[in-house]
A and B are shown apart, each in its own frame.
Chain A
Amino acid sequence: MDNIAVKVDDLTVAYNYKPVLWDIDLEIPEGVLMAIVGPNGAGKSTLIKAILGILKPIAGSVTIYGNPYDKQRKLVAYVPQKGSVDWDFPTTALDVVMMGTYGSLGWIKRPKQKEKKAALEALEKVGMLAFKNRQISQLSGGQQQRIFLARALAQNASIYFMDEPFQGVDATTEIAIINILKELRKAGKTVIVVHHDLQTVPEYFDWVTFLNVKKIATGPVKDIFNDNNLTKTYGINYKVSIQK
């Protein structure tokens, strides 16, 4: 197999000691565009957060290209759920995107022209350059999501983790986002997306992980995205009519 971008070993995570993820083993090859699917409360966001070190697992380990996250964090970008922040915060779109460069800057150093240029380029990629000085509360939901995506692009990473980037966005934004994701894959980047809409999985993604507290299956969409795995994941007799 190709290079392994993300390797998760025996990962167990609990909230208040109530297990939400159990003994997850997962290998994500480099260069895939992967969806993580599963019912509500299946631990999809938790998995991402545990990989990124936001949550501390009870057991298990995560490596990014063979090394722990702390050593590799400059290779990783994160798009949190849009609802996780206060959009009335007094700042502009450009400012938020610029935050993507803070990680490579490190402590105390201020962003300079180089960082601003990176931020502007990221804004242009998501088609939001015209809104760069807009206060973030005056953006639509779709535009806010694009700003978050631009912030991750400004990190210039190799692996992108996105938590429900299509949640509450308009159709145009959804298309714009998926095009960017496909471009990222073309450039050899690895993209991992928590996804809700099962209907679009075969169209958008080439790799999929089924998750419900434990890992049900992971692999290429064309091989494993089937009723059997869907039923195992969602519990009920699940049938989706999907054109393959």
Chain B
Amino acid sequence: MDIQEYFSLVFSDYTLRTITLGTAILGAVTGMLGSFAVLRKQSLLGDAISHAALPGIAIAFLITGAKDSNILLLGALVSGLIGTFWIRGIITKTHLKSDTALGLILSLFFGFGMLLLTFIQKQPNANQAGLDKYLFGQAATLVESDVWLMAGVTVVCLFVLLLFWKEFKILLFDADYTKTLGFNTKFIDVLITTFIVLAIVLGLQTVGVVLMSAMLLAPAAAARQWTNSLGIMVFLAAIFGAFSGVLGTAISASQNNLSTGPIIVLVAATVVVFSFVFSPSRGLLFKQIRFIKNRRDLELHKTLAFMYHIAETHEDISHPHTIKILNNFQGYTRGTLQKLVKKNYVTLDGNMWSLTEEGFNTAENLYNQQSTSNE
């Protein structure tokens, strides 16, 4: 199956439709909430939470023996929240720094989860197969009820987001100030964190524990480059997330042996790289172009100033001078001279140049500006 075939089948084929809808919704909700994680400088918290969710899945299975994904996700939620609060405990109660706390919880919970998973695999119980889909995710195992769950959570999340938009925004920007205005910052904080954990847990089945954090970060990091408004950023992040989900699913469905999670992550990463390079206001490409342009302008101004100093010594400002005396000046090139001519600052006559009135005045202004800014 190639990609075209995929898109022609996606509306008719039940399985494809379910998977695509699932990854699209997941991408949208993680993109939205990821914006908050990124702006709160908690980018790596998502990574820690998703890893910390693994033992919860295993324990939920060990207790219930059932593979009902809702129960497993509940286990993931509980253990993800325990991980989150333990991280906070480590940071506030000991002198270990946040990166150590994150790395600790991430690796220790994950290792424990893997121990339980291998333990489960050795049990004489035919039911255990498929738990390891939570490692890298298998979008193919999504069923309609999973998608309904995701959609439900997304709607609730959207509702809460709109309801508390003002409170979220001000808390993200200036928490202390928010407190002085009488808002219960702890409540807002717990609300945001809970939704982030919820979104991560929902994504485990599709993208997996290991790569989940990228779903949270990549769309938000990309969206930040295109806008300076929080609302548009959150909206764009949702779009980018959904786009990565759908395109990732399409690519992995059209090839053999490709799990969906890594492909979605790579699509999202491509969106990030594209945004980093091509965003008009922040992108590296335009920054470089602006940088070169500024340097050229500066060279032009320097040459003009140099000419101005020569012309100054003569009574007639348009007194012609030979081009040769420009040669030992650094900023001078044939190109800059041509540009000066084009701007009507300088006229050329064979080997001689002379400053025009306009050129002289411009140079004088530049000179004055510079000397005032130096003061």
A interface residue numbers (CB < 8 A to B): 49, 52-54, 70, 73, 76, 78, 80, 84-86, 89-92, 96, 99, 102-103, 105-111, 135
Contacts and interface: CB of A to CB of B under 8 A. Distances in A.
Given A106-B182, A108-B167, 10 more contacts: A52-B180, A73-B181, A84-B176, A85-B173, A91-B229, A99-B174, A99-B177, A107-B167, A107-B183, A111-B166
B176 A102 contact: no
Interface string B155-183: 00000000111110110111011111111
B177 A78 contact: yes
Given A90-B230, A102-B166, A85 B174 contact: yes
A28 B171 CA distance: 30
B100 to A, nearest CB: 19
A178 B165 CA distance: 34
Interface of B is mostly: helix
B337 interface: no
Given A89-B39, A108-B164, A110-B166, A102 B181 contact: yes
A80 B177 CA distance: 7
B181 A90 contact: no
Contacts of A105: 166
B229 A90 contact: yes
B254 interface: no
Interface size class of B (residues with CB under 8 A): 20 to 34
B224 interface: yes
23 contacts: A52-B179, A54-B180, A80-B176, A86-B41, A86-B173, A89-B172, A89-B230, A90-B39, A90-B229, A91-B173, A91-B229, A91-B230, A96-B173, A102-B166, A102-B167, A102-B170, A103-B180, A103-B181, A103-B182, A105-B166, A107-B164, A108-B163, A135-B228
B112 to A, nearest CB: 31
Contacts of A86: 39, 41, 173
B128 interface: no
A103 B179 CA distance: 10
Contacts of B228: 90-92, 135
Contact of A76 (B167, B178, B180): B180
B163 A91 contact: no
Contacts of B167: 102, 107-108
Interface in B170-214: 170, 172-174, 176-183
A109 B176 CA distance: 20
